Amino acid sequence: MKKVLVISASSRKGGNSDTLCDEFIKGVEKSGNCVVKIYVRNYKIGGCNACYACRKTGVCVQKDDMSDILQRMVDSDVIVMATPVYFYSMNGQMKTLIDRTLPRYSEIKDKDFYFIATAAAGKGAMERTIDSLRGFTDCLPNSNVKGVIYGAGAWELGDIKGNKAIKEAYEAGKNI
């Protein structure tokens, strides 16, 4: 049984990227794997101070919720990173989380990754976001991007309903 961590950076519970996370989770549960979802918005995560104290100690000097998320990432076999697209990039919550993996990023190794992105525009508008997420995983030892789910045409809350990405998210989760 694989341990799957779904990281939802959606600003809205039940938002478009969050809805795709839920569909992915349904698929994971159908496959019999273990899944945990975290809502980044529910955690207190400060921005990286670039003090690099963590390079010596392996621990960030900030006393916030990031250490819990980092431990979950290290302990997982599969990590799903879901973000809405803001100005052709991931949202600030996801970027802050990524930056704060610095103390233990080398321990986030041998992981399979799935990316979920939603945007009002089409797939092409999401490529920069996906490239940025790939840039993160390129820094991790032996990471493997197994799939990308594009939720195109999703601007308003609920726009993702009926979108082909719903089925794609479910199937990706089920095939883990």
Query: pTM of the entire structure?
Result: 0.96
* 96: three-class secondary structure by DSSP: helix
Domains belonging to the chain, first-starting first, are: 3-174 (3.40.50.360)
Q: What mean pLDDT value characterizes the chain? A: 96
Q: Are 165 and 22 in contact (CB under 8 A)?
A: no
Q: Are 66 and 100 in contact (CB under 8 A)?
A: yes
Indicate whether 164 pLDDT > 90: yes
How does residue 13 score in pLDDT terms, banded at 50, 70 and 90? confident
- Mean pLDDT across the stretch 51-76? 96
